[in-house]
Amino acid sequence: MQATTLILLLGLMAVTAFYLGRGRSLSLVGGHGHGLALHSLPGYYGYYVAIWVALPALGLFLLWVLLEPRIVVALVVNGLPEAYQSLPAGELNLLVNNIQNFAAGDVISVEVDRVLQDAAAQFNDYLANSRQILAVLALGLAGLAGSLAWRRIHPDLRARNRVERVIRWFLIAASSIAIFSTIGIVLSVLFEAIRFFQKVPVTEFMFGLNWSPQTAIRADQVGSSGSFGAVPLFAGTLLITAIAMVVAVPVGLMTAIYLAEYSSTRVRGIAKPLLEILAGIPTVVYGFFAALTVAPWVRRAGEAAGFEVASESALAAGLVMGIMIIPLVSSLSDDAINAVPSAMRDGALGLGSTRSETMTKVILPAALPGIVGGILLAVSRAIGETMIVVMAAGLAANLTANPFAAVTTVTVQIVTLLVGDQEFDSAKTLAAFALGLMLFVVTLFLNIIGLSVVRKYREQYD
Amino acid sequence: MSTDRTTRRKVEAGLPRRRRKEARFKVLGMLATAVGILFLGVFFASLIGKGASAFKQTYLQLEIELSETVLAPDGELDLAFADFEGLVRASLRRELPDVTGRQDRRELYRIVSIGAGYQLRDLVAGNPELLGTTQSLWVPASSNIDMLIKGNIDASLAEALRPVSDKQIAWVEFFREAGRLETRFNSALFSNGDSREPELAGIKGAVMGSLYMLMVTMVLSFPIGVAAAIYLEEFAPRNRWSDLIEVNINNLAAVPSIVFGLLGLAVFINWAALPRSAPLVGGLVLTLLTLPVIIIASRAAIKAVPPSIREAALGLGASQTQVVFHHVLPLAMPGMLTGAIIGMSRALGESAPLLMIGMVAFIVDVPGSLTDPATALPVQIFLWADSPERAFAERTSAAIIVLLGFLLVMNLTAVILRKRMERKW
């Protein structure tokens, strides 16, 4: 039976159970007129039965679907002849993959022999059987649990409280997903990173000056042992981030000041939404623009001025990234400026200072922590930005501070290492997770500081 | 008296300088605001300038004889192996009989897209009775000829510097003078999947992939996000655990999206063995990515419901759960929906995490289910932007225009929803 059919059937059963439960509760007290004799509203008795029908069966279904592939594979492997079972893990894996693909009717690259054919047939057999068993078990469980719950309906049954408890647990589970995804991120990058550091020492990764992740495919190949010194990547990331900040911070801050203090309501009404559009443009679009429009401009301008400019210069990527971050800086600065109590502004103006003096000598110093917190968040955003640099920055890991040269960044390397085919035990693939760990830790650090500074500051003047 | 006057004189002496400074500051602010807006203008101008022509495609009219001897040499038509390409070539040879020699003929064949053969095949598959007749058909020109007609290839350059030869230009000129060359609406862009040939490449596969992913994301992230927001606002006791959840959500909203891709690769693909390149996995990753956005927006919407409503319901004997589900939730729903739409529009534009889970594969077929290999619209843009062919640059811009169109519609819906449904208390 198809999984969707099963789910639909369970849903149907739950709806029926709702009406059965409601009906029973009413008939126990003698019809609609006597609802007050019940502990809860009749509907809650319906929900009570429906929950018992649906939840255990769904739980079984999920568990089954999660475990099924592993168990079926184990069974198939058990059924293989002895000679195959004693193959090394890698080859066995390959064989299992081939069996699965063949069973699904795909074309496979190896010759189809008798063993493979049998195993594939077995595989399909087990799979079909497993689905049959699941359907029977799930529907049986739903019926059993439902009828038990139905029997337990009694005018004194605290149905509402029980239903509400289930709802409460659902809400708690939903809010814990945020925690689980953080834990998931940490564990998934951490484990692979630890495996990487078993192959490559941490010190080489953190302080090595040479990055060329090409590892040899065969052991006897020359010159491609791979070196994983990540300093050039960190330097490249910092260079591009610095360029972006040089654009975004002054422009974003001055925009916020102008819109908060000088512009008329009409100008603000037009300029603010326009800047918000900038924030809504997907980064891949910025990347396209950086690579195809801005990079050639930068190159032409640089060459006219007599510099040697790489076609994938850090400057082009940084400039466009800076533009992308302007709205973030300006809206966070706007918040910080608006949080300064107007008494301070009025006092400064009343003493005869001009608007710009009020701004630079009174409001900005008072708003500084909030602005700095916002800038930290912007830096974190720039460090983690991927598409712009993937499309407009280079791949070569040069250790340079020259904005006209091509540099590469942490995110670019993660993408290049992980896009395409990969095996999970080569240092090359694992290096991406080590870089991901660095990225996560650094941005997390910046975010926590930035967020707490911004929040604390907001509360300070409230 | 005299000190008073000197102070005043000092202040007055400084005034012009201070006023100049003030004016300078104001101009700086104006310039800064202009930078962002100017960029937006340049950006849209260049985008539309580059992309508008991709919505048109050059077609040539050919007289094609659907000869039985070519298509069904053994008396039986096998669509998979029949030489439709040969028919197109034969027709070109008939049109320009004075083109002889291997090299020249090969160049001649190259002015028509290989899509012409597929078009013929589909035609014959649908109407087998056409076999043996001669049909006058409009077939797509190859991408180089298309670029030439649109003026993206400069015919005045030296022959070696452009991808079309002088002869090809002359042949195209022949078709144009005969009125048998037209630029029409490029329907292939919207009805085809990806292709290596720019003139056949379309965004339908990518749009469908994005649609499937957004479906998964919406179905999962909206209920979970709203439930989490309800718990945190209405039920959670103020303790360490709820503080931890809160800090976590705010941080997750700022974690680089590529890190979510690493999570998806390690957990969904490597550990849970879900299929690569599938919209299902993409949707799961985007769910985790949009959850914080939806939770934060939903919490704001719940906070905006005045406490008096809760108190009134509690006073009439409703349980806390009833208060929330019967009163607070319906009133907060518009705000939550707005947040959800904004979260979805962020998910639609996201591409970095999708690169990690293998959605960058070259996929021709339009996906038909959640587990078919697929790509997404932003990833398609990334792939096309990397293609060296001139015609792909134009199509990339067109795909971006389509993507921005979707985003615009979603954001406008959110704005309208907010304006029409949100109440001020």
Token pair listed for A160? 């509402």
Taking a C-beta distance cutoff of 8 angstroms, is the pair A414, B258 a contact? yes
Taking CB atoms and an 8 Å limit, are A356 and B21 in contact across chains? Answer: yes
Distance CA A448, CA A454 (A): 10
Query: Residue B274 sits in a domain of what CATH number?
Result: 1.10.3720.10
Would you state the pLDDT for residue A426?
Answer: 76
Distance CA B72, CA B292 (A): 61
**Cα of A189 to nearest chain B Cα, Å:** 7
Distance CA A111, CA A226 (A): 35
Token pair listed for A201? 């020492």
B14 and B113, same structural domain? no
Residue type, A195: R
Q: What distances in angstroms separate CA A224 from CA A24, A190, A206, A212, A426, one per listed residue? A: 75, 26, 20, 8, 13
User: What's the pTM value of the predicted model, to 2 decimals?
Assistant: 0.87
Partner-chain residue, chosen from B224, B270, B407, that has the shortest CB–CB distance to A424 = B270
Partner-chain residue, chosen from B32, B227, B249, that has the shortest CB–CB distance to A250 = B32
- Its ipTM equals 0.89
Tokens 């002895």 label which residue? A82
Taking CB atoms and an 8 Å limit, are B30 and A258 in contact across chains? Answer: yes
Distance CA A170, CA B342 (A): 25
Would you state the pLDDT for residue A109?
Answer: 66
Token pair listed for A36? 């007050």
Chain B residues touching residue A354 (CB < 8 angstroms):
18-19, 21-22
B183-218 burial, b for 16+ CB within 10 Å, e for fewer?
Answer: eeebebbeebbbbebbbbbbbbbbbbbbbbbbebbb
**Cα of B123 to nearest chain A Cα, Å:** 29
Q: What is the mean pLDDT of each run of 10 residues along chain B (425 residues)?
A: 75 90 94 92 90 88 82 74 83 84 85 86 83 85 86 81 85 86 87 86 92 94 94 88 85 91 88 84 94 93 93 94 94 91 93 89 84 90 87 90 94 86 68
* Number of inter-chain CB pairs under 8 A, A vs B: 253
Q: Which residues contact A74 (CB under 8 A, 6 or more apart)?
A: none
Chain B residues touching residue A180 (CB < 8 angstroms):
none
Q: Could you tell me how far CA A136 lies from the centroid of its own chain?
A: 37
B229 and B167, same structural domain? no
Taking CB atoms and an 8 Å limit, are B29 and A250 in contact across chains? Answer: no
Q: What distances in angstroms separate CA A298 from CA A283, A288, A294, A313, one per listed residue? A: 20, 15, 6, 8
B327 and B361, same structural domain? yes
| H or E segment and range at residue B62 | strand B56-65
Residue type, A114: R
Token pair listed for B289? 């990515």
Cβ–Cβ contact B15 with A under 8 A: no
**Cα of B45 to nearest chain A Cα, Å:** 12
Taking a C-beta distance cutoff of 8 angstroms, is the pair B186, B391 a contact? no
Taking a C-beta distance cutoff of 8 angstroms, is the pair A312, A388 a contact? no
B254 and B180, same structural domain? no
Smallest CA-to-CA distance from B40 within A326, A387, A254, A258 is with A326
Smallest CA-to-CA distance from A426 within A173, A216, A140, A269 is with A216
Query: CATH assignment of A227-460?
Result: 1.10.3720.10
Distance CA B151, CA B146 (A): 9
Tokens 């495996």 label which residue? A195
Identify the residue among A262, A331, A381, A387 best suited for mutation to test binding to B, counting B beta carbons within 10 A and taking the highest. A387
B380 and B248, same structural domain? yes
B256 and B376, same structural domain? yes
Taking CB atoms and an 8 Å limit, are A177 and B291 in contact across chains? Answer: yes
| H or E segment and range at residue B330 | helix B329-349
Distance CA B311, CA B50 (A): 59
Q: Which residues contact B231 (CB under 8 A, 6 or more apart)?
A: A168, A171, A172, A174, A175
Tokens 């067109």 label which residue? B398
Smallest CA-to-CA distance from B83 within B58, B112, B46, B116 is with B116
Taking CB atoms and an 8 Å limit, are A285 and B288 in contact across chains? Answer: no
Cβ–Cβ contact B178 with A under 8 A: no
Taking CB atoms and an 8 Å limit, are A433 and B22 in contact across chains? Answer: no
Taking CB atoms and an 8 Å limit, are B36 and A293 in contact across chains? Answer: no
Q: Which domain holds residue B10?
A: 2-52
Cβ–Cβ contact B369 with A under 8 A: no
**B255-284 residues touching A, CB cutoff 8 A:** 255-260, 262-263, 265-267, 270, 272-273
Distance CA B255, CA B234 (A): 27
B290 and B394, same structural domain? yes
Q: What distances in angstroms separate CA A314 from CA A395, B187, B351, one per listed residue? A: 11, 39, 21
B273: left (phi over 0), alpha (psi -120 to 50) or beta: left
B405 and B275, same structural domain? yes
Token pair listed for B386? 């990397």
Q: Crossing angle of helices B2-51/B390-421, nearest 10°?
A: 120
B307 and B189, same structural domain? no
**Cα of A33 to nearest chain B Cα, Å:** 20
Distance CA A367, CA A364 (A): 5
Provide the H-helix boundaries in B72-114: 84-95, 102-109
User: DSSP labels for A320-384?
Assistant: HHHHHHHHHHHHHHHHHHHHS-HHHHHHHHHTT--HHHIIIIIIHHHHHHHHHHHHHHHHHHHHH
Partner-chain residue, chosen from A178, A281, A390, that has the shortest CB–CB distance to B249 = A178
Integer distance in angstroms from the first to the last C-alpha of chain B? 59
Number of residues in chain A = 462
Partner-chain residue, chosen from B232, B251, B288, that has the shortest CB–CB distance to A444 = B251
Partner-chain residue, chosen from A167, A359, A439, that has the shortest CB–CB distance to B256 = A439
Tokens 């769910």 label which residue? B287
Cβ–Cβ contact B350 with A under 8 A: yes
**Cα of B358 to nearest chain A Cα, Å:** 7
Partner-chain residue, chosen from B46, B355, B407, that has the shortest CB–CB distance to A419 = B355
Smallest CA-to-CA distance from A228 within A215, A214, A211, A216 is with A211
B350 and B217, same structural domain? yes
Distance CA B278, CA B276 (A): 5
Would you state the pLDDT for residue A169?
Answer: 94
Provide the H-helix boundaries in A30-113: 42-79, 82-85, 89-103
Among B195, B216, B244, the domain boundary falls at B195
| Tens-level pLDDT at each residue, chain A (462 residues) | 577 888 899 999 999 999 999 999 888 888 777 777 888 888 899 999 999 999 999 999 989 888 887 788 888 888 777 777 777 777 777 777 778 777 777 666 667 777 777 888 888 888 888 888 888 999 999 999 999 999 998 888 898 999 999 999 999 999 888 888 888 888 888 988 998 898 888 888 888 888 887 765 555 555 555 788 889 999 999 999 999 999 999 999 999 999 988 889 999 889 988 898 898 899 999 999 998 889 999 999 988 988 888 888 899 999 999 999 999 999 999 988 988 888 999 999 999 899 999 999 999 999 998 899 999 999 999 999 999 999 998 888 888 888 888 899 999 999 988 886 666 667 788 889 999 999 999 999 999 898 888 888 776 666
Partner-chain residue, chosen from B40, B235, B382, that has the shortest CB–CB distance to A171 = B235
- A274: nearest CA partner in chain B: B37
* 3-class state of residue A211 by DSSP: strand
For chain A, domain boundaries = 3-157, 227-460
The count of other CB atoms within 10 Å of the CB of residue A41 is 15
Q: Which residues contact A260 (CB under 8 A, 6 or more apart)?
A: A334, A337, A338
The total domain count for chain B is 3
Chain B residues touching residue A252 (CB < 8 angstroms):
32
Residue type, B286: L
Chain A residues touching residue B251 (CB < 8 angstroms):
182, 444, 447-448, 451
Taking CB atoms and an 8 Å limit, are A258 and B26 in contact across chains? Answer: yes
**Cα of A248 to nearest chain B Cα, Å:** 10
Taking CB atoms and an 8 Å limit, are A384 and B25 in contact across chains? Answer: no
Distance CA A250, CA A330 (A): 9
Partner-chain residue, chosen from A168, A251, A436, that has the shortest CB–CB distance to B35 = A251
B416 and B296, same structural domain? yes
- A442: nearest CA partner in chain B: B255
* 3-class state of residue B64 by DSSP: strand
Identify the residue among B221, B251, B262 best suited for mutation to test binding to A, counting A beta carbons within 10 A and taking the highest. B262
B280 and B177, same structural domain? no
Partner-chain residue, chosen from A160, A182, A271, that has the shortest CB–CB distance to B33 = A271
